[in-house]
């Protein structure tokens, strides 16, 4: 069942984000595509984070996170933030800080800066629901993900 489940989910195209947070001045971020809008009024989103991710306890502790939607040319950033090693991915990217203090990566298509509103445990993951405190969008082409590969969906925001 797990294999057929994965096989179905691979057929669902998504964008790619880097979710960032900050705890005691220390920055953390990881690549995520389990991200969805929940409600526009009030603006609410969700992310699903594996409990084995190092980011998991930090998001809980920080009580805030920022979803950065990557542009097509930011695949190297997605790859860097998906790595499980000790190198600091923030050392190789430029960023500013959102209202919550979480990093906003330069050049992203958009970001949603959130206060953590609810946590729900489900399977191996926790669903973090965020109330959006600030957001911003820019035109450009999105980095896509489909069938376990990064993709160019051939579309632009206008």
Under the rule (CB under 6 A), what is the footprint of ligand FMN? 16, 30-34, 48-50, 53-55, 82-84, 145
Work out how close the CB of 109 gets to ligand FMN at its nearest, in angstroms, rounded to a whole number: 15
Work out how close the CB of 158 gets to ligand FMN at its nearest, in angstroms, rounded to a whole number: 25
Work out how close the CB of 119 gets to ligand FMN at its nearest, in angstroms, rounded to a whole number: 14
CB 58 within 8 A of CB 28: yes
Work out how close the CB of 148 gets to ligand FMN at its nearest, in angstroms, rounded to a whole number: 8
Nearer to ligand FMN, 10 or 99 (CB): 10
Closest CA to 18 of 1, 2, 33: 33
For residue 149, list its beta bridge partners: 146
Handedness of CA 145, 98, 50, 46 (dihedral sign): negative
Question: CB-based burial of residue 75 (10 Å sphere; 0-12 exposed, 13-18 middle, 19+ buried)?
Answer: middle
Nearer to ligand FMN, 41 or 87 (CB): 87
């Amino acid at each position: 069942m797990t294999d057929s489940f994965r096989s179905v989910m691979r057929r669902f195209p998504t964008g790619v984000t880097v979710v960032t947070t900050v705890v005691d001045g220390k920055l953390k971020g990881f690549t995520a595509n389990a991200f969805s809008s929940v409600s526009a009024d009030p603006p609410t989103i969700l992310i699903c984070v594996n409990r084995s991710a190092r980011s998991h306890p930090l998001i809980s502790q920080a009580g805030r996170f920022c979803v950065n939607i990557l542009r097509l040319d930011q695949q190297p950033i997605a790859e860097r933030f998906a790595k499980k090693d000790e190198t600091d991915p923030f050392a190789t990217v430029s960023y500013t800080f959102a209202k919550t203090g979480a990093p906003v990566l330069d050049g992203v298509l958009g970001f949603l800066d959130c206060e953590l509103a609810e946590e729900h445990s489900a399977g191996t993951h926790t669903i973090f629901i965020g109330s959006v405190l600030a957001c911003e969008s820019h035109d450009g082409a999105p980095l896509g993900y489909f069938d376990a590969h990064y993709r160019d969906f051939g579309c632009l925001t206008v």
